[in-house]
Amino acid sequence: MAVKANIIIDQGTDFTTTLNITDTDGNPVDLTGYTGAAQIRKHYSSSIAFDFEVATGNTSGEVVLSMNSSVSNTIPYGRFVYDCELTDAGGNISRIVEGMVTISPQVTRL
Protein backbone atom coordinates (compact mmCIF):
# COMPACT_ATOMS: atom_id res chain seq x y z
CA MET A 1 0.00 0.00 0.00
CA ALA A 2 1.32 3.43 -0.97
CA VAL A 3 2.16 6.12 1.55
CA LYS A 4 0.03 9.27 1.26
CA ALA A 5 2.07 12.47 0.95
CA ASN A 6 0.96 15.85 -0.34
CA ILE A 7 3.52 18.16 -1.92
CA ILE A 8 3.77 21.78 -3.02
CA ILE A 9 5.69 22.81 -6.13
CA ASP A 10 6.42 26.45 -6.88
CA GLN A 11 5.57 27.04 -10.55
CA GLY A 12 8.66 27.82 -12.64
CA THR A 13 11.20 26.50 -10.13
CA ASP A 14 13.32 23.37 -9.73
CA PHE A 15 11.79 20.77 -7.40
CA THR A 16 13.42 17.79 -5.66
CA THR A 17 12.28 15.50 -2.87
CA THR A 18 13.82 12.30 -1.50
CA LEU A 19 11.75 9.30 -0.41
CA ASN A 20 13.31 6.72 1.91
CA ILE A 21 11.98 3.21 1.27
CA THR A 22 12.29 0.79 4.20
CA ASP A 23 11.17 -2.76 4.93
CA THR A 24 8.87 -3.73 7.83
CA ASP A 25 11.87 -3.69 10.20
CA GLY A 26 12.82 -0.15 9.19
CA ASN A 27 15.87 -1.17 7.16
CA PRO A 28 16.59 0.53 3.81
CA VAL A 29 15.40 -1.51 0.81
CA ASP A 30 18.07 -2.39 -1.77
CA LEU A 31 16.74 -0.75 -4.95
CA THR A 32 19.47 -2.05 -7.25
CA GLY A 33 17.87 -2.94 -10.58
CA TYR A 34 14.67 -0.96 -9.91
CA THR A 35 13.30 1.69 -12.25
CA GLY A 36 10.77 4.33 -11.38
CA ALA A 37 8.04 6.46 -12.94
CA ALA A 38 6.02 9.31 -11.47
CA GLN A 39 3.47 11.70 -12.94
CA ILE A 40 1.23 14.63 -12.07
CA ARG A 41 -2.28 14.83 -13.58
CA LYS A 42 -5.20 17.20 -13.01
CA HIS A 43 -7.36 14.22 -12.07
CA TYR A 44 -6.90 10.46 -12.20
CA SER A 45 -8.43 10.03 -15.66
CA SER A 46 -6.77 13.07 -17.25
CA SER A 47 -4.92 12.39 -20.52
CA ILE A 48 -2.42 15.23 -19.90
CA ALA A 49 0.49 14.30 -17.63
CA PHE A 50 3.63 16.00 -16.36
CA ASP A 51 6.54 13.66 -15.61
CA PHE A 52 8.91 13.68 -12.69
CA GLU A 53 12.44 12.38 -13.15
CA VAL A 54 12.88 9.37 -10.85
CA ALA A 55 16.31 8.26 -9.62
CA THR A 56 16.59 4.75 -8.11
CA GLY A 57 19.04 1.87 -8.26
CA ASN A 58 20.88 2.34 -4.99
CA THR A 59 21.33 0.23 -1.87
CA SER A 60 20.28 3.00 0.56
CA GLY A 61 16.54 2.85 -0.19
CA GLU A 62 16.42 6.38 -1.56
CA VAL A 63 14.15 7.40 -4.41
CA VAL A 64 14.60 10.95 -5.68
CA LEU A 65 11.74 12.70 -7.48
CA SER A 66 12.73 15.84 -9.34
CA MET A 67 11.36 18.26 -11.89
CA ASN A 68 13.24 21.11 -13.50
CA SER A 69 11.87 24.61 -13.89
CA SER A 70 11.19 24.19 -17.63
CA VAL A 71 8.60 21.51 -16.74
CA SER A 72 7.09 23.12 -13.63
CA ASN A 73 6.69 26.34 -15.60
CA THR A 74 4.28 24.58 -17.99
CA ILE A 75 1.95 23.28 -15.25
CA PRO A 76 -0.98 25.61 -14.58
CA TYR A 77 -1.36 26.59 -10.94
CA GLY A 78 -3.90 24.65 -8.88
CA ARG A 79 -4.39 21.21 -7.34
CA PHE A 80 -3.39 17.96 -9.01
CA VAL A 81 -2.86 14.29 -8.14
CA TYR A 82 0.39 12.31 -8.43
CA ASP A 83 1.94 8.96 -7.68
CA CYS A 84 5.26 7.17 -7.99
CA GLU A 85 5.70 3.53 -8.96
CA LEU A 86 8.79 1.33 -8.86
CA THR A 87 9.40 -1.69 -11.08
CA ASP A 88 11.80 -4.40 -9.91
CA ALA A 89 14.03 -6.50 -12.17
CA GLY A 90 11.30 -9.16 -12.40
CA GLY A 91 8.75 -6.66 -13.75
CA ASN A 92 6.73 -6.37 -10.52
CA ILE A 93 5.27 -2.88 -10.03
CA SER A 94 4.70 -1.26 -6.63
CA ARG A 95 3.17 2.14 -5.93
CA ILE A 96 5.26 3.71 -3.16
CA VAL A 97 3.66 7.14 -2.73
CA GLU A 98 0.57 9.04 -3.87
CA GLY A 99 -1.19 12.25 -2.99
CA MET A 100 -2.12 15.76 -3.97
CA VAL A 101 0.18 18.31 -5.60
CA THR A 102 -0.45 22.00 -5.20
CA ILE A 103 1.20 24.13 -7.88
CA SER A 104 1.79 27.55 -6.35
CA PRO A 105 1.52 30.30 -9.00
CA GLN A 106 4.62 32.12 -10.15
CA VAL A 107 4.66 35.92 -10.04
CA THR A 108 8.22 36.68 -11.22
CA ARG A 109 8.86 36.12 -14.90
CA LEU A 110 12.38 36.33 -16.32
Write down the domain spans for the chain.
Answer: 3-104
- Please list, residue by residue across 59-86, b when 16 or more beta carbons sit within 10 angstroms of its beta carbon and e when fewer do: eebbbebebeeebbeebeeeebbbbbbb
Q: pTM of the predicted model, to two decimals?
A: 0.91
Strands 62-67 and 15-20: antiparallel
CATH class, domain 3-104, is mainly beta
pLDDT tens, residue by residue, 12-49: 999 999 999 999 999 999 999 999 999 999 999 999 99
